[in-house]
Structure formats: structure tokens, C-alpha cells
Amino acid sequence: MLPCFTFLQSTKSLKPLVEIGVEVGYSTKHLLLAAKALDSKLYSVDILDRSNIANKLPRELKDRWIFINSDSVKAGENWKGEKIGLLFVDGNHDYKGVLADLKAWYPHVKANGIIAMHDCHYDSDVMKAVTDFFKGRNVEIFVIGGVLGMAIVRKLET
Ligand SMILES: C[S@@+](CC[C@H](N)C(=O)[O-])C[C@H]1O[C@@H](n2cnc3c(N)ncnc32)[C@H](O)[C@@H]1O
């Protein structure tokens, strides 16, 4: 567990931030607080229109939020923004959906960037997709257990 603290070395490069899956905006708010601390932006993608979340945000967070109303795979394939420092994945949770998100977005993550996979608990589709996608790739993976679980993946390749 302790080696996970080495991730903190790359904290300053964890920008910009991209979130897949907004729903009620719980993760959005926390990621926006991180974006503020890093003086950066959060791009959030959801297939449903979640733009009303902005109404609940204080101005200093709202100004840092860009909502993209799209299927996340299409949004990843069309991404023309800068390389991503932190990618938080919490959208389509089935095996094929998670694999498709990783395939579409992983090339846009910068070296030393972090991919955080929510709901990555034992025997879940998310865990299976993470295991299959990252097999043979130059990454470090920490899995934080628990009911919902989270896999934190650091990309070591460019
Ligand atoms: C588990 S919820 C996200 C929860 C959110 N991260 C939070 O903490 O409040 C999953 C979200 O992913 C969205 N979603 C599902 N499939 C998607 C897809 N193919 N593209 C984009 N968003 C998708 C759903 O509309 C839903 O809002």
C-alpha cells in the first residue's frame, strides 16, 4: 500500500482532468476541487444531459467546468484537447463499455498521468476489463479494495 504515495510525486502534472460519468455530480464536485487546487479545468462527459449540475456549483468551481454531452467513446475518439493528467472513469460499467472507454481515452493520457477506475471490485466487469486492457502495458496499478473499489493506474509510457 505504501508505494501508492509515490503517485503523489506526479500530483502537479495531473491536469487537465477528465471525468467519464457525471450522474448526480458527486465525483464532479470533488474533481473540481482538485482542478481548483491545480489551477486547471475539469472536462466531464455524460451521455445524458447533466449540465444542470452547474447550477449547484459555486462560481469558483463552475468556471472550471466543461460539460460534454456525448457518448464517452465518441468523445474520446474525437478528443482534440491537451494530453490528460487525470482520467476518472465511472461511465458504462459493462466489460465491453469499459474496454471501449480505455481504448478511446488511454492514448490521450500523458506519461505519468493517472487513470482512476471506479467500481473496480473483485470479479466485477470493470476489474476484468482493467486486467485485460493493461496486460503487457507499461503501467503501475494499485487497487483500493472495498465495496465499490478503485483501481489507480499510472501510465509510465508516452
Ligand atoms: C455511476 S454513474 C456516475 C456517478 C458519478 N461519477 C458520481 O459520483 O456521482 C454513471 C454515469 O455514466 C453515464 N454513462 C453511462 N454510459 C455512458 C456512455 N456510454 N457515455 C457517457 N456516459 C455514460 C450515465 O448516464 C451515468 O450518469
Q: Whose CA is nearest to atom 5 of ligand 1?
A: 22
Q: Out of 33, 44, 52, 72, give the residue to mutate to test ligand 1, the one with the largest number of ligand atoms within 8 Å of its CB.
A: 72
Cβ of residue 26 lying under 6 Å from some atom of ligand 1: yes
pLDDT digits (tens, 9 = 90+) for 99-137: 999 999 999 999 999 999 999 998 899 999 999 999 999
CATH code of the domain occupying 2-155: 3.40.50.150
For residues 50-78, average pLDDT: 97
Burial of 139 (0-12, 13-18, 19+ CB in 10 A): middle
How far apart CA 83 and CA 88 sit, in angstroms, is 14
- Answer yes or no: is pLDDT of 4 > 70: no
Q: Which of 23-37, 120-134, 140-154 has the lowest mean pLDDT?
A: 140-154
Give me ligand 1 centre to Cα 96, in Å.
Answer: 15
- Full strand arrangement of the beta sheet holding 65-69: 65-69, 42-46, 17-20, 84-89, 109-118, 150-155, 139-144
Query: What ranges do the domains of the chain cover?
Result: 2-155
Cβ of residue 44 lying under 6 Å from some atom of ligand 1: no
Tell me the average pLDDT of the chain: 93
Q: Out of 20, 24, 43, 46, give the residue to mutate to test ligand 1, the one with the largest number of ligand atoms within 8 Å of its CB.
A: 46
Give me ligand 1 centre to Cα 3, in Å.
Answer: 30
How far apart CA 105 and CA 134 sit, in angstroms, is 13
